[in-house]
Structure 1
Amino acid sequence: MTDNTRLQHSVLGTFLLPVAQALRLCGLDPLEVVDEVGIDVASIANPDWRLPQGQFNLLMSRCVEMSGDEAFGLLAAQQLRPQVLRGLGLAWLASDTVYDGLRRLVRFGKLVSTASDLSLREEGEQVVVDFGRLPNAEHFHYANRDYAVGMVARMCSLALGDFIAPLSVELERPRPQSPERWESALSSRVLFDCERSRLNWYRSDILEPLVTGDPQLARANDEQTQAYLDGFLVHSTSRDVVDKILEHLPDGPPGQQQIAESLHVSNRTLQRKLKEEGTSFLDLLQDTRLQLAKKYLRHPNRSVVETAYLLGFSEPSTFSRAFKRWTGMAPADYRESAKQR
């Protein structure tokens, strides 16, 4: 996808609660600080309320300034309770392992922040949570990234009922005046001035079964979280475009002009709206075909040939080349690997 910074990104309104508690610990009145940056605290009574990302960035910047605490983001993260993350927090606690909880965080990252760029991967014996590139966002402060990293470490600790220390932590932020604050809060070696922010765990440490694991409860909260996500993302132009692509695909890959006409807008207007949402028609078309391809190939009764035609490819060989370009694997190899998972 293209640059996401044009989106009017938002975070969960409940993110204010740990920040407010941290302000109290610093001897500050949270209501005064929140009001100063123009946030209507009464909005938190609405469970669906979301705070514009730029406004939250400004709040965190102001909190660091008023408290005089360069590690304010970590302090706020330490006040986090699972309920702040809504159904995701409860599903995380009900996960079979910490690893499963991290997978849920990546899957539902847009719930926490629509600017989320989280990824999870294995590197040898380690599991890496990568927070993505620093956003080119208004009022961005490194306290925001500290809050995000601290939140993940905090949730892993709560899930285990005991603290599990990362092997190491890498942060993009410049080296602070008191780096020991970060190492104490995260119980790990912390490297600063890194290219990316990452939490690194030993795989074996986060694969231990959790005594609180409850697959049925986790699944119920997954469904609630997905329903919430669908609710506030449903009205985007991108979602409308994907819906139209799905309608047209069996007849061949639709063009941008065709989709624009289906949505009763001009081609130029559609292109502008998608650009504002940080994407393009070609990105959405490729992503839609790729996700459908993976879904179809995991189905044991659907052949590669049938999958190719359902995705609008004129020849199975054309589909095979495209799929290999997208994933690095032939469709048949992907299907075989999916059976073994």
Structure 2
Amino acid sequence: MIDNSRLQHSVLGTFLLPVAQALRLCGVDPLELADGLGIDTAKVANPDWRIPQVQFNQLMESCVEASGEEAFGLLAAQQIRPQVLHGLGLAWLASDTVYDGLRRLVRFDKLVSSASDLSLLQEDDAVIVDFGRLPGMENFQFASRDYAVGMVARMCSLALGDFIAPVRVEMERPRPQQPARWESVLSARVDFDCEHTRLYWYRADILEPLVTGDPELARANDEQTQAYLDSYLDQSTARDVVDKIVEHLPDGPPSQQQIAESLHVSNRTLQRKLKEEGTSFMDLLQETRLQLAQKYLQHPNRSVVETAYLLGFSEPSTFSRAFKRWTGIAPAEFRETAQAR
């Protein structure tokens, strides 16, 4: 069995600091709220500490509920200081242009969140930051995505030393009750229920040279950020494989060759990298199916039959035999026990 805790996606721990400040502005005690979720806030003092993405998602859900502020993610992003992003934040401020800062963010996006899937696009006279696919988790809180969008917009303004508004914002999130709140904070037209989450800027606005540009300082912080990522993301191949397995499972269990092709590497290279990380494709496939099975079976509206098909089993009986082999009990028994707690 692999150490799956190392494969969980996580968020930079210092991102809790702006969240705590936003809670205080709303009259909510951040320490009490975090403690109720089992988050040890004392760990924020450790610059290398990261919070599991699932737990951060739960935190944002609790923040929205406790504050009564549906735009809490944007409010938290307004409290961000460059130091929250460690070396990346300082390199961003020392960039030659706002555009260079955005390129650094895309290059080092895994520092912010290991599940990040940012990309930088160009369309006519616009430069676009695309936030990629939504994290594959149940009950995803769009306040987390609001926080990410607000963070990028705020860091662009901090780098410029003046407010710079996007031309347009597209968001996957459902239309909120007060959409004007988003347009006010971002100073741009915001479209909701979109296929992508994207920020658009005029190219000319973000290519102006910055008076704070310092190439040597930027490079020094780039090296620091890369060193951190090299030491932290030692399980990146396994994590990427798990992500691809989850995508493919509803269509049946993928082969190692399919996953290698989707990751744009050869089958032999993928096998070698996984071996270097102390695991194998079959280990990851079984562990992913087991964890998803346990999560799905705890959901009151998801049956054993539906779970079997979601995990790529052609027959519920085949799933039942596999689950009993993995856990020692039948899926129906596990479901009853889990939901009785």
Above 0.5 in TM-score? Answer: yes
In 2, Cα distance between equivalents of 1:215 and 1:146: 31
In 1, Cα distance between equivalents of 2:104 and 2:287: 24
Asked whether the equivalents of residues 11 and 53 of structure 1 are also in contact (C-alpha less than 8 Å), the reply is yes
Task: State the 1:221 CA deviation.
Answer: 0.2
CA distances 1:270-315 after superposition (whole Å, capped 9, x unpaired): 113555899xxxxxxxxxxxxxxxxxxxxxxxxxxxxxxxxxxxxx
Mark the CA change 1:202 to 1:46 in structure 2 (over 3 Å): closer, same or farther. Answer: same
Asked whether the equivalents of residues 129 and 200 of structure 1 are also in contact (C-alpha less than 8 Å), the reply is yes
Deviates more, 1:55-64 or 1:43-52: 43-52
In 1, Cα distance between equivalents of 2:67 and 2:274: 54
Mark the CA change 1:200 to 1:177 in structure 2 (over 3 Å): closer, same or farther. Answer: same
Q: Which residue, 255, 258, 261 being the options, matches 2:268?
A: 255
TM-score norm. by structure 2 comes to: 0.71
Aligned to 1:124: 124
Aligned to 1:217: 217
Task: State the 1:167 CA deviation.
Answer: 0.4
SS in 2 for 1:231: helix
Asked whether the equivalents of residues 130 and 199 of structure 1 are also in contact (C-alpha less than 8 Å), the reply is yes
Amino acid at match of 1:168: R
Aligned to 2:65: 65
Within a 5 Å distance, the mapping from 1:162-181 to structure 2 comes to 162-181=162-181
Mark the CA change 1:204 to 1:47 in structure 2 (over 3 Å): closer, same or farther. Answer: same
In 1, Cα distance between equivalents of 2:224 and 2:277: 33
Q: Does 1:272 align with 2:282?
A: yes
Aligned to 2:37: 37
Runs of 4 or more off by more than 6 Å in structure 1? none
SS in 1 for 2:136: coil
Mark the CA change 1:36 to 1:123 in structure 2 (over 3 Å): closer, same or farther. Answer: same
Asked whether the equivalents of residues 274 and 280 of structure 2 are also in contact (C-alpha less than 8 Å), the reply is no
CA distances 1:314-335 after superposition (whole Å, capped 9, x unpaired): xxxxxxxxxxxxxxxxxxxxxx
Over the residues paired in the alignment, what is the CA RMSD in angstroms? 2.5
Aligned to 2:152: 152
Within a 5 Å distance, the mapping from 1:1-341 to structure 2 comes to 7-235=7-235, 238=238, 255=268, 259=272, 263=276, 270-273=280-283, 275=285
Deviates more, 1:149-158 or 1:174-183: 174-183
Task: State the 1:183 CA deviation.
Answer: 0.5
In 2, Cα distance between equivalents of 1:173 and 1:262: 39
Asked whether the equivalents of residues 172 and 196 of structure 1 are also in contact (C-alpha less than 8 Å), the reply is yes
What runs of 5+ residues in structure 1 fail to find an aligned partner?
A: 1-5, 242-252, 279-341
SS in 2 for 1:199: strand
Task: State the 1:102 CA deviation.
Answer: 0.2
TM-score norm. by structure 1 comes to: 0.71
Task: State the 1:234 CA deviation.
Answer: 2.2
Task: State the 1:137 CA deviation.
Answer: 1.6
Asked whether the equivalents of residues 167 and 189 of structure 2 are also in contact (C-alpha less than 8 Å), the reply is yes
Asked whether the equivalents of residues 237 and 273 of structure 1 are also in contact (C-alpha less than 8 Å), the reply is no
Amino acid at match of 2:232: F
Asked whether the equivalents of residues 23 and 30 of structure 2 are also in contact (C-alpha less than 8 Å), the reply is yes
Aligned to 1:288: none
Asked whether the equivalents of residues 271 and 280 of structure 2 are also in contact (C-alpha less than 8 Å), the reply is no
Paired positions, count: 258
In 2, Cα distance between equivalents of 1:65 and 1:257: 43
Mark the CA change 1:29 to 1:124 in structure 2 (over 3 Å): closer, same or farther. Answer: same
Deviates more, 1:132-141 or 1:216-225: 132-141
Mark the CA change 1:261 to 1:150 in structure 2 (over 3 Å): closer, same or farther. Answer: closer
In 2, Cα distance between equivalents of 1:178 and 1:58: 22
Task: State the 1:140 CA deviation.
Answer: 1.6
In 1, Cα distance between equivalents of 2:134 and 2:286: 19
In 1, Cα distance between equivalents of 2:141 and 2:24: 20
